[in-house]
Amino acid sequence: MRDAYVDAIYKATKANENVLCIVGDIGAFLLRHYIKDFPENYLNLGAAEANMVGVAAGLAMSGKIPFVYTITPFITSRSYEQIKLDVCYNNSNVKLVGIGSGVSYGTMGSSHHSLEDIAIMRALPNMTIFTPSNDQEVEEAVFAAMKHKGPVYIRLTLTNSSDKPRGKFKIGKARIIKKGENAAILATGDTVSIALNAAQKLKEKNIDCFVINFPTLKPIDETLIKKLSRQCEAIVTIEEHSIVGGLGSAVASILAQYPENKARLKILGFEDVFCREYSSDKLKIFDKYGLSSKHLIKTILDLLKK
């Protein structure tokens, strides 16, 4: 997704001269063509993220559209008060872009992980959250962010995927990847491919599962979630995030307040723990924490049995 973002911000700046690419001292090599072609739109504000977000708010309130890019925990939790006040309270047109979200930096430990970013960003009024699951959605998210007036957080991982989602990207709309009958898997980001894999295996057992991709987590596609809850007996959410405050929490909140819900829900994610495993292969970490298609299949089967 890193290359996809670099391409997308290049195209966005070409489309709108007010777009700025601000970085916290990362990506200089990948962005070399951008820096050469748009030197006036590029700012490296160093390893000083709190200030970087405040500066971006000032730029946004002067008519610019700053995309502020650095490693996810540093743009989200480190700068959180600036995001709350300078960006969201002012409703300034700042786009925060976190790279290497979740446990993408699998060998680097918790300082570089972000398993709480969705939770804290969801809690802020005015904030819109995009969590692309492939390279095309990265570009769609960047252009949607550019056109949307107000704060946006784009959560990127390091996974490259050339899967082509069908249909138009629309803020607040989920994408139905696979239709199903009485069970649904709701996923976002890098767990979408795990969900699809699990659904294909379940099909062999004659269980037809919906697979839904949520490229927007806020606002979330409440209409589709409610519709699925009327039709399905089992809904499982799976996300590269804490089970506290992410996709699963958002879905649970809707279902718990919806009288027509008939689905049982299970939330899969990091179970309120720090990730203490190291691996350059994200799937190995996912396996350890129950984010595998195998565990997902078992979860669906258990829910349907009950």
Q: Is 78 in the site for other proteins (CB under 8 A)?
A: no
| Sole residue written with tokens 């606002």 | 219
Give me the least distance between CB of 19 and other proteins, in Å please: 12
Give me the least distance between CB of 158 and other proteins, in Å please: 27
The residues in 16-45 that bind other proteins, with binding defined as CB under 8 A, are 40, 43, 45
Q: Is 75 in the site for other proteins (CB under 8 A)?
A: no
Nearer to other proteins, 42 or 105 (CB): 42
> Token digits for 104?
């993408």
Q: Is 48 in the site for other proteins (CB under 8 A)?
A: yes
Q: Is 304 in the site for other proteins (CB under 8 A)?
A: no
Q: Is 81 in the site for other proteins (CB under 8 A)?
A: yes
Of 165, 109, 155, nearest in space to 128 by CA: 155
Let me know how long the chain is.
Answer: 306
Query: Contacting other proteins (CB under 8 A), which of 29, 36, 39, 63?
Result: 63
Nearer to other proteins, 61 or 171 (CB): 61
Give me the least distance between CB of 159 and other proteins, in Å please: 32
Query: Contacting other proteins (CB under 8 A), which of 6, 9, 56, 251?
Result: 56
Nearer to other proteins, 44 or 159 (CB): 44
> Token digits for 113?
């992980």
> Token digits for 248?
């699963």
Stretch of residues binding other proteins (CB under 8 A), selected from 56-64, 166-174, 209-217, 275-283 = 56-64
Radius of gyration (C-alpha) of the chain in whole angstroms: 19
The residues in 90-109 that bind other proteins, with binding defined as CB under 8 A, are 90-91
3-state helix, strand, coil in the chain (%, to 5): 40, 20, 40
CA atoms of 219 and 28, how far apart (whole Å): 33
For residue 98, give the 3-state DSSP assignment: strand
Query: Contacting other proteins (CB under 8 A), which of 89, 150, 172, 244?
Result: 89
> How many angstroms separate the Cα of 104 from the Cα of each of 109, 112, 250?
10, 8, 23
For residue 1, give the 3-state DSSP assignment: coil
Nearer to other proteins, 34 or 289 (CB): 34
Preceding amide of 259 cis, omega within 30: no
Query: Contacting other proteins (CB under 8 A), which of 21, 59, 255, 275?
Result: 59
Stretch of residues binding other proteins (CB under 8 A), selected from 54-62, 105-113, 188-196, 259-267 = 54-62
Close Cβ partners of 162 (under 8 Å, ≥ 6 residues apart):
134, 135, 136
Q: Is 204 in the site for other proteins (CB under 8 A)?
A: no
C-alpha 213, offset from chain centre: 10
Nearer to other proteins, 93 or 237 (CB): 93
Nearer to other proteins, 28 or 108 (CB): 28
CA atoms of 241 and 243, how far apart (whole Å): 6
Strand pairing of 234-242 and 216-218?
A: unpaired
> How many angstroms separate the Cα of 266 from the Cα of each of 20, 141, 298?
41, 28, 11
Give me the least distance between CB of 264 and other proteins, in Å please: 43
> Token digits for 117?
């970013």
# chain residues binding other proteins, by CB under 8 A: 27
| Binding stretches for other proteins (CB under 8 A) | 40, 43, 45-46, 48, 50-64, 81-82, 85-86, 89-91
